[in-house]
Chain A
């Protein structure tokens, strides 16, 4: 039996930027991008599920994000996670990778008892690949990044293959360990129809509060209790729940700041058009030869 915590993130779908998402000034209209389950985090969850399939155990998916990240947590439940936790607080807004890793590490400490922490190598909205290792450091855990395959788990030892430049290496490590997986590691399973039926009603605290707001007969505490008893409560942790230092969260806890953002503008206009004829190409080749670029 192994207990895994999977770090997941909901991201704007930058992989499928189409014309109507681009604004006239060349920047991206974030609002028009759908929010999706970060692809490599889905692979990380699949990896945890395979460990559970083989050895038994339990899987908790956690995310730090806004309330709407519950959509992705429900997808984790549909795939087979036993529990999903939303770590959400207005004070987390604007967090860079350092502040994010602080919050995640504290949440993981509170959950405790884990053998594996799985995460995707990187998220498609920033491609930084930093949050996994930064969280591992705060937990004083060893890490295996760029994991391609778990070869063997034997008692408290895991043997795995990870990608390196131009090849791979096989490493052995004692548990607990933090692992980041690459996209091609395993193919994530589709949602189980049975689990979609049983978990589609799962709700986070914010969603339950919203229900109660619209109906004076409903009380939040009662609802939470009811959802918990039906195992449909997406546990929600705030800054106070985790007893976090506000100076290390959100904007305040983020040493990096975005100073300037520019859209990528094509220089354009200064290129010379060459006729695709022998004469046209001849002139171009002459010029390149004169400049000692060709020949």
Chain B
């Protein structure tokens, strides 16, 4: 049993060698957490031919990459990945292990937490390091794991006070992602792959994936429509406004369910989390589940005919009015300004 460290680990998720954005978002956050504790940031990279991936982790601030590179790890499969990661956690005792709250992360993290008997909090939207007084005991440098709970109606802060390892999964898109200013090539620790007896128990026969052509997370301007628009015909106004402003189109869950807009454009708790420069919410009442996916936007304009709609509570600019009148006027005025 090794002693407790102050190390922060980030599991680097990849499919066909292509890293998931959330892994880099976690490296950026992990760097701050590690600095807060005086520990180092380590990226755990598993896969086949992952040299490029390892280099990427240094660009995003990893001090060290723990690398297991082998053809058997080409595609994510529960058992070899969880077995290897659990062994690493047991022998190297990180203080914090972070995963994306993706399908892979949510398949892997609970297996590792269960094997190592670590605390695990799902779907965090924020992480902080803080000294904590809990049940008359003082704890130094605990990880505050902050997540919406109970259908998004409350925000809970979870701690793992007595356990040596604190684990969390984090939703994609909620943490900022930017490379470090002066990246340094970190240390590479290569771990040999030694096959386990159950590694091949699941065989992947085929995979079908479509690259998401819509990239809402990268859009600086998003115009989102809700059920309040009333019809698919009226929702076209959202497309018109987005087109005029050079933005992307998004929708609330209700708008997606009503068939106004395709599901890959859904913003909110069960959709994408975005933080654009400008978010225009049209006919969206502003249920907590939607707000969770957009409230970090730099500027929020709400257009709604109901002055009591909760969306006004988080918007910077509120326009009470009928979207079918306000949007064409908005487009007209904007086009005139450009002339």
Which residues does A use to contact B, with CB under 8 Å? Answer: 12, 14-15, 17, 22, 26-28, 96-98, 101, 124-138, 140, 142-146, 159, 163-174, 254-264, 266-268, 270-278, 280-282, 284-286, 288-289, 291, 293-295
Contacts and interface: CB of A to CB of B under 8 A. Distances in A.
Contacts of A258: 156-158
B163 A163 contact: no
A111 B202 CA distance: 25
Contact of A274 (B149, B310, B318, B325): B318
Interface stretch (B1-9, B105-113, B227-235): B105-113
Given A255-B119, A268-B313, A134 B113 contact: yes
Interface of B: 15, 78-79, 82, 102-104, 106-107, 109-111, 113-115, 117-123, 132, 134, 144-145, 148-163, 198, 201-212, 221, 245, 277-278, 288, 298-299, 301-302, 310, 312-321, 325-326, 329-330, 332-334, 337-338
Nearest to B163: A255
Contacts of B201: 142, 173-174
Given A255-B163, A271-B317, A130 B110 contact: yes
Contacts of A159: 205
6 contacts: A130-B122, A133-B110, A169-B207, A171-B202, A261-B156, A277-B329
B318 A271 contact: yes
B120 A259 contact: no
Contact of A145 (B107, B121, B154, B206): B107
B109 to A, nearest CB: 8
Given A137-B110, A166-B209, A271-B312, A256 B153 contact: no
B122 A170 contact: no
Contacts of B278: 288, 293-294
A255 B288 contact: no
Contacts of A293: 221, 277-278, 298-299
A28 B110 contact: no
B154 A27 contact: yes
A138 to B, nearest CB: 6
A14 B326 CA distance: 35
Contacts of A134: 110-111, 113-114
B107 A294 contact: no
B300 to A, nearest CB: 8
A12 B149 CA distance: 12
